[in-house]
Structure 1
Amino acid sequence: MFRIALSAIAMGLATFGICCQVQAKDEKPKTSVEKTAVKKVDQDGPLVQMAILLDNSGSMSGLINQARQHLWKIVNEFATVRRDGKEPRLRVALYKYANGKPEQLVEFTDDLDKVSELLFATRIEGGSEYCGQVIQAAVDDLDWSKDEADLKCIFIAGNEPFTQGPVDYKGACKNAIAKGITVSTIFCGNETQGINGKWQESEVR
């Protein structure tokens, strides 16, 4: 079951907040999913940069399909907002994280078909999922806009404690803030687990 709270889905506001929990169900994972195409827009629209960080560790078995579909729904939400009547220039980057190491699958691109293919092709690969580490990698490695008028955001999905790993998640989130980047979390599990794992605490704007 998805529990979703959407706030500030509007280009005129400084922050977009999306927080949800994804709960496992006793059902077979879908072998195919519906991927809504997102069209390219004119180059004079407002810039939106979005980094998607997906936990593909073993503990996400039975949850990863739902997480992928929800992340793609968020991409579509951002693609349909407006500022001053203009559609955004949406640029999306994609990381997966497991086995103690984040991996960039694609840097910022407007080729959303490519992002979709890579996202839905991501498979389970093991353990050691470190949220702070992958956030810091996205902050450091991607070519983030320096224009304060542009929207810069990270969406991280997973189901293990946010506190794991060699990189302090608080420091990584502070570094994101320093670059004007919003961090929003998608916890795949029940609400109590998410709170205990510091997923809500990790949302920064």
Structure 2
Amino acid sequence: MKPLLDLSVYLVLGPQDCPGQDPVGIAVAAAQNGATVVQLRDKTGSTKEQIELAERLMQALKPFNVPLIVNDRVDVALAVDADGVHVGQDDMTATKARELIGPDKLLGLSVSTQDELDTADIAACDYLGIGACFPTNSKDDAADVGMQNFAGLTAQSQLPVVGIGGISLANADQVIKAGADGVAVISAICGAPSAAEATRKLQEIVKSVKDLG
């Protein structure tokens, strides 16, 4: 059975996002304070290092019932029995990823353009990550979608949508108002003086906008 999916506050992190800090410590602080999904996105670690970190994250997040998604690396996800996988346009196709992970894991797909949305294998996916909503330094390859295009793509989506790219405490409300089910952040939590406080504030923002809607 698939884990329950609540995209409200979706933390993306890897060692590169947490200099001088343990990513697991940040993930736990976030999970304790309202993060609903954690994604491991490690573009530099060896396969062995990624598996070890993913195993630690799985153990740490289990008490909070917060699913762990692994970005791109289906092999790492399978090795630790992670809750799901997230693929981008340059990664393995969603169709192939679904074949490999089976029916009981979560699968997310990044989308930035109308063409990518039109050609997405929606049946294989559980949610879409659409963006970049705002300019971002966290992802070198993030397409700048902008909020107007984001709202247009989100309105067409048959799946839940998490906004990605450049989202902060200052603009998270705009993403939810534009139709997203949640916000995916890196530096808004990993780069904050207190990961716990930043997560709590993000959760409050998301909830308050949803309650109004």
Task: Give the TM interval when normalised to the shorter protein.
Answer: 0.3 to 0.5
TM-score normalised by length of structure 1: 0.37
Q: If the length of structure 2 is used for normalisation, what is the TM-score?
A: 0.36
Identify the structure with the greater strand proportion: 1
